[in-house]
Amino acid sequence: MRKSRGTLKSGLLALALSLGLVAQALAGPFEDGLIAFQRADYDTALRLWRPMAEQGDIPSQYTLGLMYSGGIGVSQDLAEGAKWIRKAAEQGVAEAQHLLGTMYGAGQGVQQDHVEADKWFTRAGNQKSIDTWIKLGFMYAEGKDVPQDYAEAIKWYRKAADLGDSTAQYATGNMYFEAKGVPKDYSEAAKWYHKAADQGHATAQYVLGIAYIGGKGVSQDYVEGAKWVRKAADQGHVDAQFLLGRMYIEGKGVSRDLAEADIWLRKANK
């Protein structure tokens, strides 16, 4: 739960932006507290923020929650942190809802309760927040702070993928490829890899290249495979660089060229 001062400061500004409160906040006590916080004058920051939090000011509530949870400027007190984070969560702040779910999942500041964690994750996820959806997909896929649930994971990944997020598209492809939460479907996996690859997602480009080379979910096509492997290699993807070097050695999808192979293998081994 511990956060660096830099992370907290950037998080406060991001929260204010997301709540549409920058114009108001930067004209009054909240901004004064933020300036004090940036000077490491935590006593002043707390003196300004606590009365606002007690009156229901959302950024101030979330701020206090982060400070107590991370022990920044105060003695770490996870229960006190959870109290203030809950107040912001109850006012509909997706970041606070997600964090409160994490605290319930891990039993930090509150009694561990996976049902309660799931409730707050769902509330956060029901808001149109692509970052939250991706986090939820990862948490359910990995069983992090919640019981592992692949069907729930792909539900959240798909929400973000359908809105065009390349990370979520790649993750969705993996779920279909590995039959996690959905039946194994190489064609569907390739479709999602392609969407992510088209947006420049290097790992998606690499696995799409492998799909074409192996003919999994797409018609086998070494030239098309080499094209996508090169795109990933050009972005510094080490496995793609090594594979591209091997393809030049073997003349698969490219003209055999040992000098070019050496270039890519050297890049991969740097």
Q: Of 140, 129, 151, nearest to 105 (Cα)? A: 140
pLDDT one-digit tens code per residue, 113-154: 988 988 998 898 887 778 888 988 998 999 887 789 999 999
Note every long-range contact of 259-264, with CB atoms under 8 Å and residues 24 or more positions apart, other chains counting. Answer: 264/233
* Residues of the chain above pLDDT 70, percent: 90
- pLDDT confidence bin for 17, thresholds 50/70/90: very low
Q: Of 168, 134, 136, 158, nearest to 149 (Cα)? A: 136
pLDDT one-digit tens code per residue, 31-80: 888 888 888 899 999 999 999 999 999 888 998 999 999 898 899 999 99
CATH code, domain carrying 100: 1.25.40.10
Q: Looking at the domain assignment, is residue 108 inside a domain?
A: yes
Q: Of 127, 75, 72, nearest to 96 (Cα)? A: 127
* Residues of the chain above pLDDT 90, percent: 67
Q: What pLDDT is recorded for position 125?
A: 82
CB atoms inside a 10 Å sphere around CB 143? 13
Distance CA(53)–CA(130), nearest Å, equals 27
Q: Looking at the domain assignment, is residue 31 inside a domain?
A: yes
Distance CA(205)–CA(216), nearest Å, equals 14
Total number of domains constituting the chain: 1
H-assigned helices in the chain: 5-18, 22-25, 29-38, 42-54, 58-70, 78-90, 94-106, 114-125, 130-142, 150-162, 166-178, 186-198, 202-214, 222-234, 238-250, 258-268
Mean pLDDT, all residues of the chain = 89
Domain extent, residue 47, equals 1-127
Q: Looking at the domain assignment, is residue 167 inside a domain?
A: no
Q: Looking at the domain assignment, is residue 54 inside a domain?
A: yes
